[in-house]
Structure 1
Amino acid sequence: MNRAAAVRRVGFLILGANLGLVVAKAFVWHRTGSLAVGSEAVNSLSDVIYSFVILAGLYLTTQPPDTDHPHGHERIEPLVSLFIAIAIFAAAGAILWGAVSALYSGDIRIATGPTAVVVLVAAGAVKVGLYRYCLRVGDEYNSPALVATGLDSRNDVLTVVAALVGVLGARAGYPILDPLAAAVVSIGVFYTGWEVLRDNVDYLIGRAPPEDLHAEIVRQTIAHPDVKGVHDVVAHYVGPEIDVSLHIEVEGERTLLEAHEIESEIVETIRDLQEIDDVFVHIDPKELGEWKDDEAADKLLEFEND
């Protein structure tokens, strides 16, 4: 299955699962008035909202390159993840407000019957499955939006546990545990939003890739038998993928056709590395003396050899 089909399939699965959870939690919230369950209903509602955003964003980001976007639409995906972060922060604020209001007013309702417990346990199991699935597909297809969704699902498991503690504690004679659990849920939701925001801002501002990948780019270039040196190696994220530019030194008596063949081989070799998208190679004739020491490249080679 290609990347576009895979990420869209996951997007529809996420939307369906979150719709089911918000209906179940909202029903229990309406029947019991439990703030812990209500906070989880709000959390799931925010999940539904950003699931729609994910589907729209994944549809756009998986479109092929066109005249206006010759390098594709991958940069849209980190923007989708930022919208996810905003939705998560909004949900966390709503949950915390409800918990603080209940603690201040003392108006706390206790969930009776097994329904709340069953729904929360089922929600936890669903979120564990979504966490594992989204992370696996997100890593396989290099999708920041799916990884962000996986992280959100992971923390949703923790918030479900907190809500469950609140419900059981309230039924055991400690009603204050219900709004306290809701407050704990809000903290977990805030943290998820921070994780998503932190991880995707770097994609938008063109952060350099990890040092080991940078070193591998240099190593693969130097490994070519006709390359005498490499310098001005620049690699940075363009959305979730990486663009690379570099200068190589070759023997000056090479014909234009030979130089072109060397360049093409270097480009293909580097493109085969994980996450690499576009590669731009500039060829310098070694005899012209344009070669210059590149401390960064030397350091990366040392790092690779350690």
Structure 2
Amino acid sequence: MSDATTMRRVGALVLAVNLALAVGKTVVYLDGGSLAVGGEAVNSFADAAYSVFVIVGLYLTTQPPDFEHPHGHERIEPFVALFVATGVFAAGGAILYQAGQALLAGETTVDFGLSAVGILVASAVTKYVLYRYVYAKGQETHSPALKAAALDNRNDVLTACAALVGVLGVRAGYPLLDPIAAGFVALAVLYTGVEIVRDNVGYLVGSAPPEALRAEIIERALAHPEVEGAHDVVAHYVGPEVDVSLHIEVEGDHTLFEAHDIETDVMEAIRDLPEVDDVFVHVDPKELGEWKADADVDRLAEGRRED
């Protein structure tokens, strides 16, 4: 199965689960009036709404390259993830406002049975399984949008547990625990939005990838028997993928054909990394005097050798 098909199917699964949970929580909320359950219902409807946009975004990002987008459409994904964050912030703010109003009033009236406990336990279990599955698929396909959806599912486990505390508190005779729990739900939802923004802004502003990936890039360049050094290694995100440029140092008596083969071998070795999109390799002959030390290259290469 291709990455594109996998991403679309995962997006559809997330939408279906969120819709089912939203309907179930709404029924329980209307029956008993728990603010914590109501907050969870709002959260699930927000999840379902942004899931639609995730599916649309994933469809666009998996389209093949064309004349206007020769590198493909993957760079749309961080924008999709940021849209997810917008929906998360809206849901968190709505839940927090409702909980604050109830706390300021100083009283809350709820009347619900074990159905509230059941829907929250089911939500926590379902969201945990969904988090593990979606995050694994996000890692497998290197999809920021799926990873953002996975993080939201992970935090939904926490919000369901917080809501469960509120529900059980009401049943134990402490009704104010319900809006307090709803407040914790809201804060967890808002934190999810912060995480999504933090993770995806780097894709849009050209941040450097993790050091482990940079070290792997350097190791693959230096692994070629004709390459004696590397410098001016630059790796940065262009959307969710990494572009790499570097200078490799070789003996100057190679023919043009040999130098071309060395450059091609190094480029292909680095491009085989799943996170990498484009690679630009500049070959430096020593006679030009361009060989120079690069502290970052030395540090990362030494770290890989120690590992």
**The TM-score by the shorter chain falls in which range?**
over 0.9
The residue type paired with residue 212 of structure 1 is: A
- Kept after mapping to 2: 8 A contact 1:217/1:270: yes
How far has the Cα of 1:105 moved from its partner? 2.1
Residue 203 (structure 1) aligns with: 203
Residue 292 (structure 2) aligns with: 292
Residue 213 (structure 1) aligns with: 213
How far has the Cα of 1:290 moved from its partner? 2.1
How far has the Cα of 1:191 moved from its partner? 1.1
How far has the Cα of 1:229 moved from its partner? 2.2
Residue 33 (structure 1) aligns with: 33
Residue 45 (structure 2) aligns with: 45
How far has the Cα of 1:251 moved from its partner? 2.6
How far apart, CA to CA, are the structure 1 residues paired with 2:199 and 2:296?
25
Residue 182 (structure 2) aligns with: 182
Q: Secondary structure of the residue that 1:202 maps to in structure 2? A: helix
The residue type paired with residue 136 of structure 2 is: R
Q: Percent identity?
A: 61
How far apart, CA to CA, are the structure 2 residues paired with 1:295 and 1:180?
52
Q: Does residue 141 of structure 2 align to residue 133 of structure 1?
A: no
Q: Secondary structure of the residue that 2:235 maps to in structure 1? A: strand
How far apart, CA to CA, are the structure 1 residues paired with 2:111 and 2:117?
9
* 1:251-270 mapped onto 2 (5 Å cutoff): 251-270=251-270
- Kept after mapping to 2: 8 A contact 1:111/1:167: no
Residue 117 (structure 2) aligns with: 117
Residue 60 (structure 1) aligns with: 60
- Kept after mapping to 2: 8 A contact 1:88/1:190: yes
Q: Does residue 171 of structure 2 align to residue 171 of structure 1?
A: yes
The residue type paired with residue 193 of structure 1 is: G
**What is the TM-score normalised by the length of structure 1?**
0.96
How far has the Cα of 1:187 moved from its partner? 0.9
How far has the Cα of 1:299 moved from its partner? 2.2
How far apart, CA to CA, are the structure 2 residues paired with 1:147 and 1:271?
23
The residue type paired with residue 149 of structure 1 is: A
Q: Does residue 156 of structure 2 align to residue 156 of structure 1?
A: yes
How far apart, CA to CA, are the structure 2 residues paired with 1:184 and 1:249?
56
- Kept after mapping to 1: 8 A contact 2:110/2:175: yes
* 1:136-147 mapped onto 2 (5 Å cutoff): 136-147=136-147
Number of residue pairs matched by the alignment: 306
> In the TM superposition, what whole-angstrom CA distance separates every residue of 1:107-156 from its partner, at most 9, and x where no partner exists?
52213222211111111121111111111111111111111111111111
In structure 1, runs of 5+ residues without a counterpart are none
- Kept after mapping to 2: 8 A contact 1:88/1:189: yes
**What is the TM-score normalised by the length of structure 2?**
0.96
The residue type paired with residue 204 of structure 1 is: L
How far apart, CA to CA, are the structure 2 residues paired with 1:304 and 1:73?
33
Deviates more, 1:291-300 or 1:80-89: 291-300
Q: Runs of 4 or more off by more than 4 Å in structure 1?
A: none
- Kept after mapping to 2: 8 A contact 1:212/1:303: no
How far has the Cα of 1:182 moved from its partner? 0.5
Q: Does residue 272 of structure 2 align to residue 272 of structure 1?
A: yes
Q: Secondary structure of the residue that 1:64 maps to in structure 2? A: coil
Deviates more, 1:6-15 or 1:233-242: 233-242
How far apart, CA to CA, are the structure 2 residues paired with 1:241 and 1:205?
12
Q: Secondary structure of the residue that 1:75 maps to in structure 2? A: helix
How far has the Cα of 1:74 moved from its partner? 1.3
- Kept after mapping to 1: 8 A contact 2:28/2:37: yes
Q: Does residue 89 of structure 2 align to residue 86 of structure 1?
A: no
Q: Secondary structure of the residue that 2:158 maps to in structure 1? A: helix
Residue 191 (structure 2) aligns with: 191
Q: Secondary structure of the residue that 1:184 maps to in structure 2? A: helix
How far apart, CA to CA, are the structure 1 residues paired with 2:301 and 2:106?
64
How far apart, CA to CA, are the structure 2 residues paired with 1:178 and 1:236?
46
The residue type paired with residue 206 of structure 2 is: G
How far apart, CA to CA, are the structure 2 residues paired with 1:172 and 1:211?
51
Deviates more, 1:19-28 or 1:267-276: 267-276
The residue type paired with residue 3 of structure 2 is: R
How far has the Cα of 1:23 moved from its partner? 0.8
